[in-house]
Structure 1
Amino acid sequence: MIDNNFKQMIEVIHLSEKLKFELRHSWLSNGRQESVAEHTWRVSLMAMLITPHLEKDIDTLKLLKMIIIHDLVEAEAGDIPAFDTLDNKEAKQLKAKNEEQAILYIKELVGGEQGEEWYHLWHEFENKDTFEAKVANALDKLEAQIQHNEADIDTWLPIEYDMSYMLGRHTSFSPVLEQFKNVIEQEADDKINNTTRSG
């Protein structure tokens, strides 16, 4: 007889498959649209690369858990681009409501202490309560900009030109992440200026 714990694990894994076909408003350098799963993987890679350079000690396992759990919610709630909620209070509230329902569902699906842990880690990320949460949030935003920088600029919406210079609100708490942000912002600036000159 199969242990119910393993059946629950398989259900969570089946849910996560949706992230492989849930598309983001980001395009790859080869012209294909990016999936949420691909974004999450690279945010996790960035976390592994940056943690040795941060000015404070960080719980890397907790950081990686936060990154993965944060995006798992999108398997239920879908991915909403940041520019859709930027200046839209109603859209922001609806997104928050849908994501809260999704994390509650995931909490029950995972079950037990682990389900509780995932629920609290998701909220910690959302509220930026800790250094780990702030780093996770910053990396999430920085990866999105890196992907925009790699994509054909024809895929950019007008608002994304401005958003390329708004990353500081997510990185200002950390001198190391500020430096990292500056490199990414410079790439965006070069891309915009090169396109303007060639156009």
Structure 2
Amino acid sequence: MSDPLDTVTQFLLEVDALKTIDRRTYIKGGSRLENSAEHSWHLAMACWALSEHLALDLCQNTLIKLALVHDLGEIDAGDTFLYADSRNDAHEQERECVARLQGHAGNPIKDLMELWDTQEYSNKPEAKLLKVVDRILPFLLNIENEGRTWRELGVKRSQVVAAHAFINEDFPQIHEWLSRKVTLAVVNGWLIDA
């Protein structure tokens, strides 16, 4: 006779696979690449911290849930580097993975797909903040690690500026911080000045 928790624990093992997806960003100190599960945790913490710091009027519960589901699609699709040519199609494969997880027999989270779609496609305040924080965390780690990923992959200042330009619309104070750090990275040779 099977235990009633067996199906849920099988789902939990399925989402544990996010730990196996390596990203292109090095952890603080640069000893290794971070994985997508670590990034998801860091994303949730950073969203929470920044929403408090900026005194934003949003639902913390929704924000944390969006952060936790944000990268689940990478279990099947893998992580797509921000400056990769294949970036435009990555969300389709990720969405298929989340749909598969939604249909998993042990998944008790009825709105998993809805939450993923919200973080991916919506303009709700929680989704807007999530998108900004998802961009600034790898940026922050690149600054902390003297542009290691940028230097290894030949990333240019213009790429970084373009990828983060949208932040200025809703979060100009964060965008100003980014701009100062981009200048620092160029001066120190961590980003190609082009």
| TM score, norm. by length of structure 1 | 0.81
Contact 2:142 2:148 in 1 (8 A): no
Contact 1:46 1:139 in 2 (8 A): yes
Query: 2:101: which partner in 1?
Result: 106
Structure 2 counterpart of 1:138, one-letter code: V
2:25 & 2:132 partners in 1: Cα distance? 17
2:94 & 2:117 partners in 1: Cα distance? 10
Aligned with 1:82: secondary structure?
coil
Moved more, 28-37 or 154-163: 154-163
2:11 & 2:128 partners in 1: Cα distance? 26
Contact 1:128 1:137 in 2 (8 A): no
- 1:163 maps to 2:159: yes
Structure 2 counterpart of 1:22, one-letter code: I
Query: 1:23: which partner in 2?
Result: 22
Structure 2 counterpart of 1:23, one-letter code: D
Cα gap change, 1:125/1:30 in structure 2, threshold over 3 Å: closer, same or farther?
same
Q: Which has the higher contact order (CA 8 A, sep 6+)?
A: 1
Cα gap change, 1:92/1:195 in structure 2, threshold over 3 Å: closer, same or farther?
closer
Aligned with 2:155: secondary structure?
helix
2:49 & 2:95 partners in 1: Cα distance? 30
RMSD of aligned Cα (Å): 2.2
- 1:178 maps to 2:172: yes
Deviations along 1:14-37, whole A, 9 cap, x unmatched?
123222221111123324112112
The answer for unaligned runs of 5 or more in structure 1 is: none
Structure 2 counterpart of 1:158, one-letter code: G
Contact 1:172 1:178 in 2 (8 A): yes
Query: 1:12: which partner in 2?
Result: 11
Offset of residue 53 of structure 1: 3.5
Structure 1 segment 21-100 matched on structure 2, within 5 A: 21-28=20-27, 29-54=29-54, 56-85=56-85, 92-93=88-89, 95-100=90-95
Structure 2 counterpart of 1:62, one-letter code: T
Offset of residue 160 of structure 1: 4.7
Give the number of the structure whose residues are more often helix, by fraction.
1
Runs of 4+ residues over 4 Å off in structure 1: none
Offset of residue 56 of structure 1: 4.1
Structure 2 counterpart of 1:26, one-letter code: T
- Percent of residue pairs identical: 19
